[in-house]
């Protein structure tokens, strides 16, 4: 299930975000997680199965254009290719509902487009 990120899961969230190509440097990663903690428009969610956190998806809300822009998406390597990435995208669209259209940025576009191709299970 998709749950909103809380500071107590900071380390696990940083571990997941570090799989993003642009988040390899510790300083950049710390700045990113800080932004998710303080900026209301930056919203990070974790994918939890039982006690395990297996994925992370983060958006920036663009209030003017009513868009939730996916900036980060990552699944722990041992659980990739089992549909978690797509499930996070689908659940997040449901979470935001109609006020916000879920879109991608240049970094996340390829996977986002891939999700739209695949029929829902």
Residues within the interface to ligand COA (CB under 6 A): 19-21, 73-75, 80-86, 108, 110-111, 114
Alpha helix positions (H), the chain: 10-17, 26-38, 84-96, 109-117
CB nearest ligand COA: which residue? 85
Considering the complex, what minimum distance in angstroms separates the CB of residue 36 from ligand COA? Answer: 16
Considering the complex, what minimum distance in angstroms separates the CB of residue 45 from ligand COA? Answer: 13
Q: Which C-beta is closer to ligand COA: that of 62 or that of 90?
A: 90
Q: Return the bridge partners of 42, or none.
A: 60
Considering the complex, what minimum distance in angstroms separates the CB of residue 89 from ligand COA? Answer: 8
Q: Which C-beta is closer to ligand COA: that of 19 or that of 96?
A: 19
Nearest alpha-carbon partner for 44 in 33, 52, 54, 53: 33
Q: What contacts 14, CB < 8 A, 6 or more positions away?
A: 29, 30, 33
């Amino acid at each position: 299930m998709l749950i909103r990120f809380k500071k107590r899961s900071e380390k696990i969230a940083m571990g997941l975000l570090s799989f993003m190509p642009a988040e390899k440097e510790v300083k950049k990663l710390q700045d990113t997680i800080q932004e998710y903690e303080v900026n209301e428009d930056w919203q990070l969610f974790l994918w939890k199965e039982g006690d395990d956190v297996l994925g992370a998806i983060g958006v920036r809300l663009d209030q003017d254009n009513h868009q939730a822009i996916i900036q980060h998406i990552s699944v722990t390597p041992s659980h990739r290719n089992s549909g978690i990435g797509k499930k996070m995208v689908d659940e997040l669209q449901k979470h935001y509902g109609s006020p916000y259209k879920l879109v991608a940025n240049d970094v996340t576009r390829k996977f986002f487009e891939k999700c739209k191709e695949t029929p829902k299970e």
